[in-house]
Amino acid sequence: MSASASLRQFAAAVRVLLVLTAICGVAYPLAVTAVAQVISPGTANGSRVEVGGKTVGSRLIAQPFDGPGWFQPRPSGAGEDGYDTLASAPSNLGPNNDDLVAAIKERRAAYAEANGVPVSEVPADAVTASGSGLDPHISPENARLQVARVARERDLAPERVRALVDDATQGRTLGVLGEARVNVLELNARLIETK
């Protein structure tokens, strides 16, 4: 093969690379982003939750809440201190693992004490982390067990806080998929706006 033929092939390869980069690396992502902005702008922008015009988080990612005046999410195994979005992963500890059993017993006792319920009534999602460690939802039962504590700490009527939980409870997806759930960040955002 002559040098000029090799040069032509190299130039053709560079042109193909530039065209495909423009199509796959620029045009396609821009088109997908534009369609997403039209079809579902909230989701396309990160499913942000805003309180008073300020973004406080994403409804897709759990975050910790300090203090007894907040509804608490599921425990997190993501990262060393939990709730680390860069370390989203399960603990991979089996049900017979001594560390997991001890952590669940400790969490169960702490939840029961904080919420004034018997240990036997503590729901599983209050003491076990999700597979990602960042599940933003808790069961309606878990949320209802936290009502008395949150109402007491915020000096609100328990009925008012219970109504917030009921309003924040989402049913099964399409009526059949999954279970009823409560997004903790959205519930706490409603709590902030409640006087």
Per-residue confidence in pLDDT tens, the chain, 195 aa:
788 888 999 999 999 999 999 999 999 999 999 999 999 888 888 888 888 888 888 888 889 998 899 999 999 888 888 888 888 877 788 888 999 999 999 999 999 999 999 999 999 999 998 888 888 999 999 999 999 999 999 999 999 999 999 999 999 988 889 899 999 999 999 998 886
Environment class of 3 (CB within 10 Å of its CB; exposed 0-12, middle 13-18, buried 19+): exposed
Whole-angstrom distance, CA of residue 170 vs CA of residue 124: 19
pLDDT for residue 92: 81
How far does CA 98 lie from the centroid of its chain? 27
In 3D, which of 133, 134, 171 has the Cα closest to residue 58?
134
Q: Where are the beta strands (DSSP E) in 4-141?
A: 48-51, 54-58, 137-138
In 3D, which of 88, 183, 170 has the Cα closest to residue 134?
88
Whole-angstrom distance, CA of residue 120 vs CA of residue 106: 13
In 3D, which of 49, 44, 67 has the Cα closest to residue 187?
49
pLDDT for residue 137: 94
Give tens-digit pLDDT for 7-47.
Answer: 999 999 999 999 999 999 999 999 999 999 999 888 888 88
pLDDT for residue 4: 86
pTM of the predicted model, to two decimals? 0.78
pLDDT for residue 47: 84
